[in-house]
Amino acid sequence: MARKNVVFIIKSNPFSWKTFEALRQAVGASIEHNVSVIFIKDGVYALTDWKPELIGIEPIDKSIESLGMMGARVIAESEAVRERGIKLKDWGIEIDIMDKDHICNMTKDAEVVITW
Amino acid sequence: MARKNVVFIIKSNPFSWKTFEALRQAVGASIEHNVSVIFIKDGVYALTDWKPELIGIEPIDKSIESLGMMGARVIAESEAVRERGIKLKDWGIEIDIMDKDHICNMTKDAEVVITW
Amino acid sequence: MVNTVWIIKKLADFPELELIEEDDVIILIQDAVLRTPSIENWYACEEDTVARNIKIPEDRLVSYADIIDLIEKANKVVVW
Amino acid sequence: MVNTVWIIKKLADFPELELIEEDDVIILIQDAVLRTPSIENWYACEEDTVARNIKIPEDRLVSYADIIDLIEKANKVVVW
Amino acid sequence: MKLLIVVASNPYSHDFNTSVKLAKASLERNHSVSMFFMANGVYCLLREEIKELSERGVKVYYCAHNANQRKVKPDSWAESSSMYGLSKLVTESDRVLMFD
Amino acid sequence: MKLLIVVASNPYSHDFNTSVKLAKASLERNHSVSMFFMANGVYCLLREEIKELSERGVKVYYCAHNANQRKVKPDSWAESSSMYGLSKLVTESDRVLMFD
């Protein structure tokens, strides 16, 4: 079966079940696809040191760790991070900071784009 | 039991089940309260001649008609109507067009305010 | 040849313009039909437009079958 | 004496300023804690703020019990 | 204080979290709390948190029409009601919080 | 064309309407259609429209974890699956539409 380039884009609702489900989906996909998970706009907040359990949401740490183990890339939009003046948490895996142009190119090159 | 001044404010999602449920709620309340249903911002679209059944939503005509029969007031924000250049449908009951200032005063005077 | 079909649900959520290429097509659905975009290749879902009583030129309206055909002809579809 | 307590869920949904009176109080909850308002009498739900790792001065933070007390003291509460 | 919390949001939303936490805080302040679930809020009746609130003294009501429409069959700790029932709860309550 | 529609939105949303209409239109064009329900989308399995699509040839899958979590018990016309199952459907599909 063909391995595909699959890009997940998390662009809003960073502190929600949506982000949790998006990451679960990305982990599942990373087993047989080349997966990149890209956080843009308000989505970048999901990569800060927030506390999901305080607001009744399951933590996303395991999902991000799994993405790292499966060789998936995790990317944050540099403009979005800078504009919000936020600091990303150390998730134990490498988070690539990438500018909009590069993110555009990755999206264009992807075979499947899934947005949340 | 005390009859209360209850204001319902529909401010977004005009073409949705939310509007349908808000109106059902307002009809129920109008049996024993002085009800005003105020459409502001994008909410005013709900008073145009739209076709809910085309997008899988139940029509709101009966609810608006019932509001009229129960003596509830139905109000549209004049600025919101003008900015959007829309024409309100003839719902068979009187729709008051009211400016923001009046709507503010009604909201301030209300005992209960329910927003959608 | 259509490159990417962008299905847009809300206008506030409009994809960055740099994402859209010349041979891409934009299809407005749901409440996105309330405001029309400033770019060239766009269509609006007819049923969603008629349901909202919005005036959009006939030649911009597409049926669900048309949308499926556009998706089939394109390389890729993105719901944004 | 508090007149109306406004509970704000999203900043884009901020009530028109003309709605807010001098003796009103605003409480930011959920994602509304991401951006702070320009007016005087506001608080933010502590748990929602800490959960999002947002820095807000201590004296602006209120617990759920505080929120309930503010609602009790006010004439009216509006979730906007 | 008699507090009425109306929930029309689904159970995996911020509104669910907020309304549960506010209900708990009210109980701790010895207020009388009613919760009314309607629209997508009726799915909340399937969550343990609401059952627990009911056990701790929150009166739980729901719109029977919405529950029926969504094929949700609430347990007996939740009381079947209607939009007219909601209206009567508004009469009895000192404050109403609407989450949708 | 093999079309995969993933639905994470609740059944009283615009996304529900859009995905049902797109699935119908695809069937009429003789495409092969799969629908995958996850997150709040699993509540959609309680709606007749999805059952009808299944009877007309749409393959309906759902995330068993999400259904279990939400106490939704799907009928047998819907196939229990997982995030890995979804990944395999992505492999087989020519186009993927995500609604959330």
Residue type, B78: S
Chain A interface, Cβ < 8 Å to E: 15-17, 55-57
Domain that holds residue F27: 2-99
- What is the pLDDT at residue A1? 59
In sequence order, what are the residues at sequence separation of 6 or more whose Cβ sits closer than 8 angstroms to the Cβ of residue A52? A15, A20, A58, A59, A60, D51
Q: Do C69 and F29 touch (CB under 8 A)?
A: yes
**C68 vs F26, F96, F99: nearest CB:** F26
Residues of B with CB below 8 A from F16's CB?
A: 56
Rg (CA), chain E: 12
Closest listed residue to residue F36, CA positions, set F91, F80, F72, F68: F80
**Tens-place pLDDT, residues F21-74:** 999 999 999 999 999 999 999 999 999 999 999 999 999 999 999 999 999 999
User: What pTM does this model have?
Assistant: 0.96
Q: What are phi and psi of B46, to 5 degrees?
A: -65, -20
Q: Report the pLDDT averaged over residues E71-100.
A: 98
- What is the pLDDT at residue C38? 81
- What domain count does chain D have? 1
Residue D13: which pLDDT band, with cuts at 50, 70 and 90?
A: low
d(CA B14, CA B43): 5
3-state secondary structure at position B21: helix
- The yes-or-no verdict on residue E31 having pLDDT over 90 is yes
**Tens-place pLDDT, residues E45-61:** 999 999 999 999 999 99
Chain C interface, Cβ < 8 Å to A: 4, 13, 16, 18-19, 21, 76, 78-80
Does residue A62 contact residue A24 with C-beta atoms inside 8 Å? Answer: no
ipTM value greater than 0.90: yes
Residue F86, both tokens: 């979804």
Residue C1: which pLDDT band, with cuts at 50, 70 and 90?
A: low
The arrangement of secondary structure in A5-115, i.e. its CATH architecture, is 3-Layer(aba) Sandwich (3.40)
Q: Where are the domains of chain B?
A: 5-115
- The yes-or-no verdict on residue F2 having pLDDT over 90 is yes
d(CA F98, CA F41): 11
Q: Do A104 and C78 touch (CB under 8 A)?
A: no
- The yes-or-no verdict on residue A70 having pLDDT over 90 is yes
d(CA A72, CA A26): 9
- The yes-or-no verdict on residue C13 having pLDDT over 70 is no
- What is the pLDDT at residue E23? 98
- The yes-or-no verdict on residue A42 having pLDDT over 90 is yes
Does residue C56 contact residue C36 with C-beta atoms inside 8 Å? Answer: yes
d(CA F1, CA E15): 40
Q: Do E87 and B28 touch (CB under 8 A)?
A: yes
Helix spans in chain A (H): 17-30, 61-69, 78-84, 100-109
Q: What is the mean pLDDT of chain C?
A: 92
**Tens-place pLDDT, residues D15-74:** 777 788 889 999 999 999 998 888 889 999 999 999 999 999 999 999 999 999 999 999
SS (H, E, C) chain D: CCCEEEEECCHHHCCCHHHCCCCCEEEECHHHHHCCCCCCCEEEEHHHHHHCCCCCCHHHEECHHHHHHHHHHCCEEEEC
Q: What is the mean pLDDT of chain E?
A: 98
**F25 vs C9, C64, C76: nearest CB:** C64
Q: What are phi and psi of B75, to 5 degrees?
A: -130, 135
Q: Do F96 and A116 touch (CB under 8 A)?
A: no
Q: Do D34 and A52 touch (CB under 8 A)?
A: no
Instruction: Give the largest Cα separation in chain F, rounded.
Output: 36
Q: Report the pLDDT averaged over residues F6-23.
A: 98
CATH number of the domain bearing residue D29: 3.40.1260.10
- The yes-or-no verdict on residue B1 having pLDDT over 70 is no
- What domain count does chain F have? 1
Domain that holds residue C42: 4-79
- What is the pLDDT at residue A10? 98
Q: Report the pLDDT averaged over residues B47-64.
A: 98
Q: Do C53 and B15 touch (CB under 8 A)?
A: no
Residue E8, both tokens: 């029309």
Residue D52, both tokens: 């999002």
Q: Give the burial string for C55-76 (b: 16+ CB within 10 Å, else e).
A: ebeeeebbebeebbebbbebeb
Q: What is the mean pLDDT of chain B?
A: 97
In sequence order, what are the residues at sequence separation of 6 or more whose Cβ sits closer than 8 angstroms to the Cβ of residue E54? E60, E77, E78
**Tens-place pLDDT, residues C36-63:** 888 889 999 999 999 999 999 999 999 9
**Where do we find the tokens 């079958």?**
C65
In sequence order, what are the residues at sequence separation of 6 or more whose Cβ sits closer than 8 angstroms to the Cβ of residue F48? none
CATH number of the domain bearing residue E53: 3.40.1260.10
Q: Report the pLDDT averaged over residues F65-86.
A: 97
3-state secondary structure at position E1: coil
**Where do we find the tokens 């005087």?**
D40
Q: Report the pLDDT averaged over residues E31-53.
A: 98
Q: Report the pLDDT averaged over residues E7-30.
A: 98
Q: Which residue of D has its CA nearest to E99?
A: D79
**F12 vs E11, E12, E40: nearest CB:** E40
d(CA B20, CA E47): 25
- What is the pLDDT at residue F8? 98
Closest listed residue to residue D71, CA positions, set D10, D25, D32: D25
Q: Do B48 and C53 touch (CB under 8 A)?
A: yes
